[in-house]
Each structure stands twice: as structure tokens, then as C-alpha cells.
């Protein structure tokens, strides 16, 4: 019986490359990983957005309307619906002047009960120290 | 001896990051370690069979075949990523598997070290 | 020359842009280039906008990233793909993608 | 009415640059212009037939088919780039051509405007 | 009868992305473009290296030895063998402290007679003004 | 933590690197990351090398780009793929690719 913690750290902007999208889809895939593992074993993902990566976390992304593409907004909401631990770096939001009301903070509209957290970088550093493996995207 | 899991999202040719992943896998296997290589996103192109060797493009298929033969190396491609790109099951390189993304997380679970190449 | 520059990135490509000169210069912000017109770093607008040029931003790419024309820096005009076609054929002779 | 040649080296999915190229081609054709689209490097992935539509990946094949039907749009993939990636002639999307790189230069020769998307 | 001038401007580093490689192979493809054109028509490519792109122009690249990959050095030599106009931006070389003896200046070893030219940026600007189409890579 | 960072780029990725802290930090320059150890801009070595860390550069990537170990900044040690495997398993516990 073991839980392995995986820390996804998103530092790239959305859409231009697939990094942030694949980070979310891989993190969400943790829901079904048990089929490959022994009873009681599991993985626990945390997703942190730092640097330019915080630009993934803005509300009202209309990528589906314009490009037929699931938005990063939808991915973040899906991960909140699954009660995943999602963190945004406060210093980077401040640097860009992005305020909480511009951000995807919850997934209430799809029935989610978990909120995203705005945390200082020091908290993200702690996540990096506590996880078993780091996956920077 | 340990287990290294390498995850790559990079493109087949053009981005030497995927060459790096394969050469690192080769060096690790030579030292007796075992390696899982997960190719996702554009990296799934590595798993396409029938790649022609040109001197102007990376040609990694041969090294992968040699690595499969050691029994210390697994390569798995993301199924959805491959289908989106028009690669179907029958297009997959011999020895390479196809699974959904949870396979990669399970491989990370049992890995001693994970090197995740996230960029393009 | 009449030069239309498509800037598709944020932060990178600026060194190339800095040196470009043209009698008539248009900068069309597309893809992640739209952040140059919508986001300020440490309260400062992107240095790209200080260039002597006419600025446009692609509405579809603005909206995909969570912005609208209302978020644009006042120096930048929102355009559609159709408008970009007209800019290409009517306003500029040479095109560069950065 | 003019002729626009767009050259793209970008990857199929992940890089929205290729989506840009196709949407721009569509807008130009709607205004009566003709468009040549050259896909080279990882951009050749656009020419692969059998791409499956997922909401998580760009799906440009349908738009390309509609554009072919107008008679104002040509798409040509770099033959060597495609072969290196394991796409052979029979893997090419209906309506799309395959030539060597000189085709692109010839298209530039007769174009009123060239937009070359060089990055990844 | 017309000659159309194409200006390839390489601003990206070698190997990580294919930009500079494809610039060279496309420029070299001008050798065979006549099969698509009317008698007397042709294209004339010039290749300019600016910014980080000048890092493509260093001698002794051993990409073939290590990665089985034609080096950018070989591509530049091939283009000089074909008497193509190849220019390196002096200011950018100076910025990196790269001197002429570190650079691929000729293709004598493969029988070439044309040399690459180190020119100030103002000359490259003139090329950009004189060509019919620009292809930045 | 004992953290091994693969830096595969030149100029980009530095903002992330700046903030990383670890009891034991190794920075392995691969791909275009090797320019951080071989090229000076305006006479100044890459700021990456000021980080408190042990630095390595991959010989294969150095040589592919026209350099040898002799061109390396004195703070950086040349390593092979085989050496990198040993660093991964023996020196560092967590790995990051930038």
C-alpha cells in the first residue's frame, strides 16, 4: 500500500504548445491509474501554475467556439470537479496584475466542490519538496 | 539497478529532445537499468512504423528496436494522441505499445526516477 | 517597404522586431502574441507597443485566451481573420511571421 | 483577387499556428482569393489521412476538405518530410498533393503575398 | 521572363526546432524549381543569419557523429557550393564574441568557390527591402 | 531535496530556474542549453552559471553544435550520456526538464 505523489508544474502559456493541455489530461488520468496498480496503491497529482503558466488560468476562454478545441479553462474545471489540488502562484499573478475575479477558482457550474488556491511561491516550493516526482510542462 | 521512466511530449524530428530521450534510455539500459519511455502529444510520432531513414532527419526506429531486444526497455504511445494524428493500431512500430495516459502515471508509480520532457 | 509582421509569441521575438524598419509597418498580434496587448508585467505594457507601427490583434485568439476587445491596449485594434486577409492584400506587400 | 501562399513548418496539433494557417486560408478563399498551403517539417502531419476528431486536439481535416471543394485552395505536403515520418503516398489525405520543396518556391514565384510560418 | 527574389532570414538556434534546417533545404531546392516554371523564369534565394540564428554558422558541428544528422554546417557548405548568397550579421556575431575563424566561411573542401559574407545589419535590411518575399525561420 | 535540472534552452527557462531552491542542486546543460556554458553575450557569461549549483554539459550536444569541452566555462564539467545516467541514479532524486 503506497501513494506516490506527482507534482505537475505548468510554466508554459496555453495553446501554442501542448504542454499545459497534456499536463491537465495526464493529471486527470490519475482517476483510472488503479487498474495498473496493486490494491491500495495509487498516485496523487497536484497541479501548480507558475510564471507564464498562470495565463492558462484565466476565465472565459472561448477556444471551443473559435477553434473547436477544449479550453484550458474546461480542463482546470474538470480537475477541480475531481477534487484535484490546483494551485496558482500569487507572485506571478501579481506580476501580471491578474486578480482573483479573472481566474478560474471553482467548478461550481459543473457540480464541483473543490476550489483552486492562490498561494505564494513558497507553498509551491513545499509541494515540489513533498512530491515523489516532478513533471514540469 | 533502478527504473527510469522518461515521458516525452516532443515532436519526432526537428526537436532533438526526443533524440535525447532515446539516447539516454540507451545509456541507462547499457548500465543495467530498465527504462520506460512514454511518448505523448507530438512525441507519438516516434511510435509510427515505416519511418524512412534520411540523413536530414532523426532516425530513431533502429535504436528503439535494439532496445526492445534487450528486454529492459518499454515504449508506450498515447492512444488518443496517436489516433488524433491519424495513426491507428496497425501503424504502430513493432514492439511499441499503445495505452491511455494512466499507463504513464502507473509507470511513474514504480519508477525510481522520472524525467518528464514537457516542452515542445 | 510596406511590411506586415505577425507576432505569434509573448516575450520572444522582440529582439528581431526591435531592429525591423519599414516605411509602413503593421504588427498583427496573433496566438500568444495577443498577450502583448492585454497583459502588463509589473504594471508596464509590453515594449512591443512602443514600436512605431499600426497594431492589430486577432479577435479569435483574444477570445480563445479569455480576453475581449475591451481588454486591449488603446493602441491596438481588434481584427477578424477576414480583416487580416484585407490587411495582407491591401495594406502590406511583404509579410513576416515571428 | 490575389494569390496567397502560406508555408508552414509547424506541428499538427498543439501548435495553434497550423490552425491559424488553415483559418486564414479559409478567410482568404471566402473573399475570392486563391491560396496555396505548403506543409513541411512537422506540418506534414496535417496531410495525414484518417485523423480522428477529438475535442482535445485540432481537427482541421474537415475544413481542408471544404476548401478543396472550392477549387481555390491547394495543399501540398513535403514528400521527404512525410516519408521520414512514416507517411507514405497512400496515407495522404484526399485532395492533398505531395511534392519536393521546389514546389513551394514555385508557388512563391507566382504568389502576390507569401506568409511563411517558420517556427515550431 | 522574371526572377523572383526570396529572402530567407534565420533567427532561430540550430537543432532544437527544424527552422534553420528547413530554411537551408528549401533555399537549396531553388536549384530544381525551374521544372515548375516557364522558360527564363526563376527564383533567387538569399540566406541571412541574424540574432541567435548566427549560432547555426559555427564550424566543426558533429551532429552526424553523435545523432546521425546532417549538420547545419554541411547545409551551409552545400549552399555555398551552389553559389548561394549567404550572409551573417556582424553585430550579432560581435555580441556573441564569435570571430571569423570560428565560422563556416567557404566550402573549399567540397569544391565550392563562393564565400559567406559577414555584413552589418544594415546590409541585411537592404536585402529584406530588395527581395520579393521574406521567409523568416 | 536533491534536484537535477536539465536545461535544454538558451535564454528561456531562466525565470523558472532562478527561483528553484534545493539542498543539493545540479544543472545539466543539454541541447541548446549548452550555449549557456560556451557563449558570452556582450562579454558576459550566462547568468545561469551564477546559480549556486554543480554544472554539467553534455559532450554530445556540445560537439554537435561546434564546441568541445575546451570551450566550456570553467564552472562546467563535460559529461557523456553514460555519466548523466549515473548522475540521475546516484546524485539526484528528483529531475526537472526546462
Q: Nearest CA to CA, how far is D75 from chain C (Å)? A: 18
Q: Nearest CA to CA, how far is D30 from chain B (Å)? A: 27
Distances (CA, A) of F74 to B10, C85, F57: 32, 53, 11
State pLDDT tens for residues F19-40: 999 999 999 999 999 999 999 9
Helix axes D17-30, D61-70, angle to 10 degrees: 30
Q: Give the per-residue pLDDT at B58.
A: 80
Q: Give the per-residue pLDDT at C94.
A: 98
Q: Give the per-residue pLDDT at F63.
A: 98
User: What are the chain E neighbours of D74 within 8 Å (beta carbons)?
Assistant: none
Mean predicted confidence (pLDDT) in E54-79: 96
Contact E6/D82 with Cβ under 8 angstroms? no
Say yes or no to pLDDT of D91 above 90.
yes
Q: Give the per-residue pLDDT at D120.
A: 63
- The answer to whether D106 contacts E30, with C-beta atoms less than 8 Å apart, is no
Say yes or no to pLDDT of C31 above 90.
yes
- Gap between the Cα atoms of F52 and C10, Å rounded: 29
- The answer to whether E67 contacts F10, with C-beta atoms less than 8 Å apart, is no
- Gap between the Cα atoms of E2 and E30, Å rounded: 14
pLDDT band at D10, cuts 50/70/90? confident
Taking only residues 66 to 105 of chain D, the set having a beta carbon closer than 8 angstroms to any beta carbon of chain B reads: 80-81, 83-88, 91
pLDDT band at D14, cuts 50/70/90? low
Say yes or no to pLDDT of E116 above 70.
yes
Locate cell 545540479: which residue? F26
F51, β-bridge pairs: none
Locate cell 557550393: which residue? E81
User: What are the chain D neighbours of C61 within 8 Å (beta carbons)?
Assistant: 16, 20
Mean predicted confidence (pLDDT) in B13-20: 80
User: What are the chain F neighbours of E103 within 8 Å (beta carbons)?
Assistant: none
Say yes or no to pLDDT of B120 above 80.
no
Task: Inspect the structure and tell me whether chains C and B have 3 or more CB pairs less than 8 Å apart.
Answer: no
Across all residues in chain C, what is the average pLDDT? 96
Across all residues in chain F, what is the average pLDDT? 96
Q: Nearest CA to CA, how far is C8 from chain A (Å)? A: 9
B85 φ, ψ (degrees, to nearest 5): -90, 5
Pick from E64, E8, A118: which is nearest to B55 by CA? E64
State pLDDT tens for residues C49-91: 999 999 999 999 999 999 999 999 999 999 999 999 999 999 9
- Reported ipTM exceeds the 0.90 cut: yes
Mean predicted confidence (pLDDT) in D94-101: 96
Say yes or no to pLDDT of B14 above 80.
no
Range scoring the smallest mean pLDDT among A104-108, C27-31, D78-82: D78-82
Say yes or no to pLDDT of C41 above 70.
yes
Task: Inspect the structure and tell me whether chains D and A have 3 or more CB pairs less than 8 Å apart.
Answer: yes
State pLDDT tens for residues B22-40: 999 999 999 999 999 999 9
pLDDT band at A16, cuts 50/70/90? confident
Which tops the pLDDT comparison, D17 or C91?
Answer: C91
- The answer to whether E136 contacts C94, with C-beta atoms less than 8 Å apart, is no
Provide the grid cell at F8. 535544454
Q: Nearest CA to CA, how far is F70 from chain A (Å)? A: 32
- What percentage of chain E reaches a pLDDT higher than 70? 100
**pTM of the predicted structure, to 2 decimals:** 0.95
Q: Give the per-residue pLDDT at E7.
A: 98
Q: Give the per-residue pLDDT at B12.
A: 64
Q: Nearest CA to CA, how far is C81 from chain A (Å)? A: 11
State pLDDT tens for residues B86-110: 989 999 999 999 999 999 999 999 9
Report the phi/psi class of residue C39: left, alpha or beta, with left for phi > 0 and alpha for psi in -120 to 50. Answer: beta
Say yes or no to pLDDT of D13 above 70.
no
pLDDT band at B10, cuts 50/70/90? confident
**Other residues' Cβ atoms within 10 Å of the Cβ of residue A10:** 30
Nearest residue on chain E to C12, judged by CA atoms?
A: E12
- The answer to whether E26 contacts D40, with C-beta atoms less than 8 Å apart, is yes
- Gap between the Cα atoms of C69 and C57, Å rounded: 9
- Gap between the Cα atoms of E25 and E40, Å rounded: 23
Q: Give the per-residue pLDDT at E31.
A: 95
Closest by Cβ to A63, choosing from C32, C35, C64: C64
DSSP conformational letter for A37: S
Say yes or no to pLDDT of A99 above 70.
yes
- Gap between the Cα atoms of A76 and A47, Å rounded: 9
Amino acid at each position: 500500500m503506497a501513494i506516490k505523489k506527482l507534482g505537475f508544474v505548468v510554466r508554459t502559456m496555453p495553446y501554442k504548445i501542448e504542454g499545459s493541455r497534456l499536463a491537465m489530461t495526464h493529471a486527470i488520468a490519475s482517476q483510472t491509474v488503479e487498474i495498473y496498480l496493486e490494491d491500495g496503491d495509487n498516485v496523487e497529482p497536484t497541479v501548480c501554475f507558475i510564471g507564464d503558466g498562470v495565463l492558462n488560468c484565466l476565465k472565459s476562454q472561448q477556444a471551443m467556439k473559435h477553434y473547436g478545441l477544449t479550453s484550458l479553462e474546461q480542463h482546470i474545471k474538470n480537475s477541480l470537479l475531481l477534487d484535484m489540488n490546483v494551485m496558482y502562484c500569487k507572485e506571478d499573478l501579481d506580476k501580471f496584475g491578474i486578480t482573483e475575479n479573472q481566474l478560474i477558482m471553482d467548478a461550481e457550474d459543473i457540480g464541483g466542490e473543490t476550489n483552486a488556491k492562490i498561494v505564494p511561491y513558497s507553498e509551491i516550493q513545499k509541494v515540489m519538496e513533498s512530491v515523489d516526482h516532478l513533471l514540469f510542462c | 539497478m533502478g527504473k527510469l521512466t522518461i515521458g516525452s511530449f516532443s515532436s519526432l524530428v526537428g526537436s532533438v529532445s526526443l533524440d535525447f530521450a532515446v539516447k539516454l534510455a540507451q545509456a541507462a539500459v547499457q548500465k543495467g537499468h530498465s527504462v520506460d519511455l512514454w511518448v505523448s502529444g507530438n512525441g507519438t510520432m516516434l511510435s509510427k512504423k515505416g519511418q524512412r531513414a534520411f540523413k536530414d532527419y532523426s532516425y530513431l526506429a533502429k535504436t528503439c528496436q535494439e532496445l526492445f531486444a534487450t528486454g529492459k526497455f518499454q515504449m508506450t504511445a498515447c492512444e488518443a494522441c496517436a489516433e488524433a494524428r491519424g495513426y491507428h493500431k496497425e501503424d504502430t512500430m513493432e514492439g511499441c505499445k499503445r495505452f491511455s495516459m494512466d499507463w504513464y502515471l502507473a509507470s511513474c508509480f514504480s519508477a525510481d526516477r522520472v524525467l518528464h520532457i514537457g516542452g515542445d | 517597404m510596406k511590411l506586415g509582421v505577425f507576432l505569434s509569441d509573448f516575450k520572444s521575438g522582440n529582439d528581431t522586431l526591435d531592429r525591423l524598419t519599414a516605411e509602413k509597418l503593421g504588427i498583427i498580434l496573433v496566438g500568444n502574441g495577443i498577450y502583448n496587448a492585454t497583459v502588463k508585467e509589473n504594471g508596464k505594457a509590453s515594449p512591443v507597443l512602443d514600436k512605431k507601427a499600426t497594431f492589430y490583434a486577432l479577435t479569435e485568439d483574444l477570445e480563445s485566451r479569455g480576453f475581449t476587445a475591451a481588454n486591449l491596449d488603446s493602441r491596438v485594434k481588434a481584427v477578424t481573420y477576414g480583416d487580416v486577409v484585407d490587411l495582407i492584400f491591401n495594406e502590406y506587400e511583404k509579410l513576416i511571421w515571428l
